[in-house]
Homo-oligomer: A and B are copies of this chain.
Amino acid sequence: MTLFVYAHLDERARALVRAGVPDAVFVDKTTAGPAEQARFAEAEMCFGNVPAPWLSGPLALRWLQLESVGFEYYRGIAMPGVQVTNLKGMFAEPTAETALAGLLALYRGIEELAGARLERRWIGLALRERMGLLAGRRALVCGLGSIGARIRALLLAFGCEVAAFARTAPDADLRTLAEVDAALGRFEIVVNALPSTPETANLFDAARLARFAPGAVFVNVGRGSAADEEALIAALESGALGGAVLDVFRQEPLPPDHPLWRMPRTIVTQHTGGGYDDELVDKTRFFLGNLARFRAGEPLLNPVDLARGY
């Protein structure tokens, strides 16, 4: 069986793959074209998120290991007989840490201190009176996948009062958007950790942002499509929103002339939420664990329904 590797890997991670699959076919995503697509069509196993169009037409594929959690760009693609697995859970810890890093940076003045450091300017005493505490804040976490659940646990550890919105999770406090809308005005922090689905597209539109408590902070570690960015910009500029921590955007990389680069009280983490030094090795280890299961005919970890898109 041929393994086609389309994942973003570094040399350490590629060496791990080679140790497990000496004849693996590695492809450079940035230059892949019709020749690579033809080789993919002959491979029984694939590690990495190939372009959606490659998934139509006759394929030898039996197992696709995605290198991400989200895969909304494959929505509606049905591949009978092909097992698909994702990396659910692998990004929970780093993404939750980035969400908390951003929130604490806002409350504890870290960006302003970074700027003052470059200018060697002591602003300590003046800054103290403008600082806030995360402790005791009322927070809403939208989404109780592994990321949302981890963010909720960390906010609770900081002494926040946390409510969660999720349609099906048994431990959610709010289950419908009507319940969210009725409660939104109570929260000082609103975190989006929902997947990208037709239901979450534009969830944070102008009308919903207008229901936020004055000065509330919005954190988006879900998908950029969940927020109306123009409405977000207006709310940040007017001061209606007290701040934002934005990891995801409708267009990534964020274009240089995009207004979200220069919003006040906004931490832009550039979709680094899931990242960490051993990320590529760890995702390769997950793939190799699933490979052993695949070869042994055992059930794979993290099976997903590609057509559903999340």
Contact = CB atoms under 8 A, between A and B. Distances in A.
A272 interface: yes
A80 interface: no
Interface in A113-143: 113-118, 120-124, 127-135
Contacts of A117: 261-262, 268
A39 to B, nearest CB: 25
Contacts of A109: 269, 272
B277 A131 contact: yes
Interface residues of A, number: 60
A280 B130 CA distance: 12
A243 interface: no
A252 interface: yes
Contacts of A280: 129
A94 interface: yes
A48 to B, nearest CB: 15
A1 interface: no
A129 B10 contact: yes
Nearest to A274: B128
B158 A128 contact: no
A10 to B, nearest CB: 7
Interface string A42-67: 00000000000000000000000000
A157 interface: yes
A280 B120 CA distance: 26
* Most central of A94, A253, A254 by chain B CB within 10 Å: A94
Contacts of A252: 122, 124
B157 A157 contact: yes
A192 interface: no
A243 B67 CA distance: 31
Nearest to A271: B124
A248 B40 CA distance: 58
A154 B131 CA distance: 19
A18 B26 CA distance: 75
Interface stretch (A100-108, A173-181, A193-201, A204-212): A100-108
A72 interface: no
Contact of A158 (B105, B134, B154): B154
Contacts of A254: 120, 122
B101 A267 contact: no
Contacts of A102: 110
B270 A124 contact: yes
A286 to B, nearest CB: 16
B114 A272 contact: no
B157 A97 contact: no
22 contacts: A101-B101, A101-B107, A104-B105, A105-B105, A105-B110, A108-B269, A109-B272, A110-B111, A110-B267, A113-B269, A117-B261, A117-B262, A117-B268, A121-B256, A122-B252, A127-B270, A127-B272, A128-B276, A131-B276, A131-B277, A132-B277, A153-B157
